[in-house]
Structures are given as structure tokens and as C-alpha cells.
Amino acid sequence: MFSTDGLVDIDNGIVSRDIFVSPEVFQRELDTLFTRAWLFVGHESQVANPGDFFTSRMGEESVILCRDKAGAVHVFLNSCRHRGMKVCRYDEGSTTLFTCPYHNWAYGLDGRLMGVPQYKQLYEGVLDKADWPLVEVPKLARYKGTVWATWDPEAPDFETWLGDARQHLDEALDCRDGRPGGSEVIGVHKWIFPSNWKFAAENFLGDTYHNPSHRSVDLIGIGPSAAAGVKGRRDNEMAKATHVWISFPAGHGIHSAIAPLGDTYQESFKDNPEIEAYFRHCFEERQRRKGEDARLIPFVGTIFPNTSYHGRQPRGLCVWHPHGPTETEAWRFFLVDADAPAAVKDFLRRYYMRYSGPAGMTEQDDMENWNYATAASRGAIARRHPFNYQQSITAASLDPEVLGYRVPGLVSTQVTEHMSLGFYRRWADHLEERSWDVLLGLGDTRFGSAAAS
Ligand code: FES
Ligand SMILES: [Fe+2]
């Protein structure tokens, strides 16, 4: 049986470099973690009409997200049942059939095997087409426009998996004016970088400690407004708020902030009255709709294992697809309110590109760290020396009130690495193929006796 002893020592805050470079650990992740966890596969706006498809990934494997003629959403393994050829080689599009390029078996949008060339002469009486559909995920969830799937039929439902992290993810998915859901994807950036996927996932658990990496972009004006005299990566966000770093029983971790009571809008887009009016309206309408809950301001988080989000600016979901022990394929899905004015969408699109992605000013800083850290951890000598995860790990407590606002989860109000340790605790449980009760953190005493959420 596989053991994570020697790889992660959660109680003492020690993590081996092997988990970031070892081919054996990587294969174990593919076999036991990415085959059971709920994974983000795409957004309903990418398959808005019957026949639409978006080719996505679950772990290293290609999957097709599509909408059938009746409007149902499916996720299929992108591999022909005959000899395994990809039945779809496009990134996205619209079709009536997935016809395999190799020998032309053809599958419907509901996955059924519809056509087999020369069926009568070669297969009749032997091959029953009903037995050979595309392989479909046993469980799929549609949540506020996002689509998630798991290969494990025994997995709990998606919202149980999310637990109280849902409150924070919602802030990325809901409209800027507080209406639930309503987002659309305005573009996906895809690129490969030479680092283990966990460096990125961990960064988004709330590694605020790495701010020195972004000193150059913090000294210039690349924020949303890009206005003269406004420095930093973001404009006025969270300036008056109290920050919280929270881990959740299933391994998710977030960094959000709680605004003071009676917070008011701060003018941010002085050079652009149309954009300014839009964001002022959204701020005030959100206060009105959400009341006390408008105090929760999202920043970043990672939904275990490999889906991260930026809740405010640049708003979106980032999936860190495992591509090899020391290689990751990043997909950033950029979100806007579907009914936002065209000028706002265009304005945000430009900001998102300025901040994120392979050419984004801020994302370049992060990747440089992950890439060099991976390269410098490969060596025989380096691997003898583990990483330190002891930052503020005793500072978190359960369900405190922050500025009078109750925040469920294991919460710290100072920069900490307890979310990373929570992540690696569940990561170890997955690699050791624990029961779903354990994977959900039930009975994890750090979360009290009722850790079901
Ligand atoms: S591999 Fe698809 S038809 Fe043969
Ligand atoms: Fe960063």
C-alpha cells in the first residue's frame, strides 16, 4: 500500500520536495486523486446551444464538455471505444456528431455509438452498438454556470464537497451587483510552464506572503483603471478590510477579506465615467441586495485540488492541469457578467490580459518563482532537504467572528500556511485511497466534531 510517510509531516509543518518532482508521486496523483476529486471542466456559456462542445481535461486525460440536442450537458472521455483515437481534436465548436478520424465510428452528442462503417458485413450479430458509447463521467454538477465532474460514482454531491468554501467561490461566480450566477467566459488562456501543478494551486490557497515578488507591478499603474497616479495591481480593493485566511475540511483554502460596517464606494476609474458609473452602481446594488453579506470581499482561493479563482480583479477561474511531474498546463477562464455593457467587458478583457496569463505582468512574476523552485528542487542534494510550512500554523481558530461577521472554517487573521497544510493533509488521504468520510474531513478534529461541511 502507498504511504505518504516521509512525504508530508503535517503536524510539524514539513513537506518533502519529492512531491513536486517525483514521477512516482505524480503517477499516484493521476491514479488516485484526479480519478476521484471533483474537477472543474468548463462553463455553461461555452456550450450555450445544442451541439456546442468545449474540449477540456480531467487530470491528464482529454474530455469533451458538450450539450446534446435535448439541451442536456455531458462530459465524455475524448477517446474512441475502438482503438482510442481522440474523437474530437478541436478546442471548441459545434457539431452534430463526433466522428472518429481513424476508422470513422461516429458518436452522438449524447455519447451513443451511432455509426460503424460496414456494420452489416463486419459486425452484425456480434457488436451491439448500445454497449459501446463514449465513456461518460458518472457524476456531473452544474453550479452557477460552472460545470464540474468526477470519475468516482461514490463521490459526495458537489456542494457537500465544496462545504463552506462555497460562500467564497460564490463571490467569484455571482454578478457584480449581487445577483446569483450570471457570469460568462469571455476567453480562455492556455499555456504550459515547467513547474509542478501544486506550486500554483498552493499559491492561490492564500500565499499573501509572496507579495515581494510583485514589487515591480505594485510600483506602476497596471490596475484595472490604469489611471495616471494610481499605482498597484488593483485599484482600492480591500484597502479598509480585515483579511482572513481560511481552510476547509475537504482541503480547499481561501484568502478573503471582511469590509467594515457601512463601507462606501471608492472612486476608482476617474478617467472613464462610463466604467466608473457601472462599478459604482454594482457596488451600491450589491450592498442593497446582500446586506451584511456584502461585507465579504473575495480575493483568491483554491478549490481542492487544482481549480483556483480570483474573486474580484482579474475575475476568473484557473485550472492547473497536471502535465508531468515538473510541467503544468494552465487554463485561465476569464469571467464577466453576461449582461455587462460591451464597453465594460472590453475594458476588463484588456485588464485581465495585462495582469494574467503567459504575458500578464503579475502572472509572470508568479511563474518565475514556481519554475525556478521546481528546477532547483530536482537535484539529489536538494531533495534531501524538505520545505518549511510552519508560518503562523497555530494562529488559526474555528469559526471566529471578524469585525462582527461570522466566518465558518479554520480562520486566521494573519498571513499563514495553515491552508497549505490542510491541502496536503487531504492530498495525502487521496493518495492513500481513504474513504470519502476521510476525504471530506469528517472526524478531522481541527474542524471540531461537526466537520461535515
Ligand atoms: S479508433 Fe476510432 S474508429 Fe477506430
Ligand atoms: Fe502572485
Asked if the structure places residue 150 within a domain, the reply is no
103 lines ligand 1 (CB under 6 A): yes
Nearest to 187 by CA among 94, 91, 113: 91
**Cα-based torsion angle of the residue sequence 75, 81, 84, 88 in order, rounded to the nearest 10 degrees:** -40
Give the pLDDT mean for 114-142: 98
Residues 209 and 325 in one domain: yes
Asked if the structure places residue 158 within a domain, the reply is no
Ligand 1 atom closest to the Cα of residue 103 is 3
List all residues 6 or more positions away from 396 whose beta carbon is below 8 Å from its beta carbon: 245, 246, 247, 410, 411, 412, 416, 418
Cα–ligand 2 centroid distance for 364 (angstroms): 9
* Lowest-pLDDT choice from 51-65, 255-269, 295-309: 255-269
Asked if the structure places residue 232 within a domain, the reply is yes
CA dist 360 and 257 (Å) reads 25
Burial of 85 (0-12, 13-18, 19+ CB in 10 A): middle
Residues 368 and 410 in one domain: yes
Q: Which residue's CA is the nearest one to ligand 1's atom 1? A: 83
Domain span holding position 55: 39-140
Residue 453: per-residue pLDDT: 44
Residue 132: per-residue pLDDT: 98
Ligand 1 atom closest to the Cα of residue 85 is 1
pLDDT at residue 440 is higher than 70 = yes
Element (H, E) at 410: strand 410-412
83 lines ligand 1 (CB under 6 A): yes
- Asked which of 97, 124, 140 is the last residue of a domain, the reply is 140
The ligand that comes nearest to the alpha carbon of residue 81 is: 1
Residues 131 and 173 in one domain: no
Asked if the structure places residue 437 within a domain, the reply is yes
Asked if the structure places residue 12 within a domain, the reply is no
Show the DSSP H helices in 3-60 as ranges.
Answer: 18-21, 23-28
Residues 131 and 219 in one domain: no
pLDDT at residue 450 is higher than 70 = no
Nearest to 311 by CA among 144, 170, 216: 170
- The CA angle 285-291-294, to the nearest 5 degrees, is 75
- The number of C-alpha atoms within 13 Å of 193 and in the hemisphere containing its C-beta is 27
Cα–ligand 2 centroid distance for 330 (angstroms): 15
- Kindly indicate the confidence band of residue 452, based on its pLDDT and cuts at 50, 70 and 90: very low
82 lines ligand 1 (CB under 6 A): yes
Q: Which residue has the cell 462582527?
A: 404
Give the pLDDT mean for 6-17: 97
This prediction has a pTM of: 0.96
- The CA angle 267-272-273, to the nearest 5 degrees, is 70
CATH of the domain at 58: 2.102.10.10
Cα–ligand 2 centroid distance for 218 (angstroms): 11
How do residues 394-410 score in pLDDT, each as one tens digit? Answer: 999 997 898 899 999 99
CA dist 197 and 185 (Å) reads 23
Asked if the structure places residue 7 within a domain, the reply is no
CA dist 259 and 86 (Å) reads 49
CATH of the domain at 334: 3.90.380.10
Residue 224: per-residue pLDDT: 84
pLDDT at residue 230 is higher than 80 = no
Give the pLDDT mean for 429-444: 96
Give the pLDDT mean for 274-278: 94
CA dist 152 and 143 (Å) reads 18
Asked if the structure places residue 388 within a domain, the reply is yes
Element (H, E) at 275: helix 273-290
Pocket probe mutation, ligand 1, options 76, 80, 123, max atoms within 8 Å of Cβ? 80
Give the pLDDT mean for 97-120: 98
Residues 89 and 224 in one domain: no
Residues 234 and 368 in one domain: yes
Give the pLDDT mean for 160-184: 97
Q: What are phi and psi of 425, to 5 degrees?
A: -65, -45
Show the DSSP H helices in 316-360 as ranges.
Answer: 342-355
Pocket probe mutation, ligand 1, options 105, 107, 119, 134, max atoms within 8 Å of Cβ? 105
The ligand that comes nearest to the alpha carbon of residue 209 is: 2
Cα–ligand 1 centroid distance for 62 (angstroms): 16
The angle that helices 342-355 and 273-290 make with each other, rounded to 10 degrees, is 90
Domain count within the chain: 2
320: which 3 cell numbers? 492547473
- 407 in Cβ contact with 246 (< 8 Å): yes
- 99 in Cβ contact with 134 (< 8 Å): no
pLDDT at residue 95 is higher than 70 = yes
Q: Which residue's CA is the nearest one to ligand 1's atom 4? A: 103
Nearest to 24 by CA among 12, 14, 32: 32
102 lines ligand 1 (CB under 6 A): yes
Cα–ligand 1 centroid distance for 105 (angstroms): 6
How do residues 142-165 score in pLDDT, each as one tens digit? Answer: 999 999 999 999 999 999 999 999
Residue 302: per-residue pLDDT: 98
Q: Which residue's CA is the nearest one to ligand 1's atom 3? A: 103
Average pLDDT taken over every residue of the chain: 95
pLDDT at residue 85 is higher than 50 = yes
Ligand 1 atom closest to the Cα of residue 100 is 2
Residues 127 and 201 in one domain: no
Residues 203 and 258 in one domain: yes
Residues 300 and 358 in one domain: yes
105 lines ligand 1 (CB under 6 A): yes
Residues 129 and 188 in one domain: no
Cα–ligand 2 centroid distance for 443 (angstroms): 33
User: What separation in angstroms does the CA of 281 have from each of 260, 267, 362?
Assistant: 19, 11, 28
396 lines ligand 1 (CB under 6 A): no
The ligand that comes nearest to the alpha carbon of residue 116 is: 1
CA dist 338 and 340 (Å) reads 6
The ligand that comes nearest to the alpha carbon of residue 78 is: 1
Pocket probe mutation, ligand 1, options 78, 83, 123, 127, max atoms within 8 Å of Cβ? 83
Residues 177 and 103 in one domain: no
80 lines ligand 1 (CB under 6 A): yes
How do residues 328-358 score in pLDDT, each as one tens digit? Answer: 999 999 999 999 999 999 999 999 999 999 9
Cα–ligand 1 centroid distance for 70 (angstroms): 26
- Kindly indicate the confidence band of residue 445, based on its pLDDT and cuts at 50, 70 and 90: confident
127 lines ligand 1 (CB under 6 A): no
Q: Which residue has the cell 474530437?
A: 88
Give the pLDDT mean for 185-193: 97
Asked if the structure places residue 31 within a domain, the reply is no
- 358 in Cβ contact with 189 (< 8 Å): yes
113 lines ligand 1 (CB under 6 A): no
Residues 350 and 436 in one domain: yes
- Asked which of 96, 124, 140 is the last residue of a domain, the reply is 140
- Kindly indicate the confidence band of residue 449, based on its pLDDT and cuts at 50, 70 and 90: low
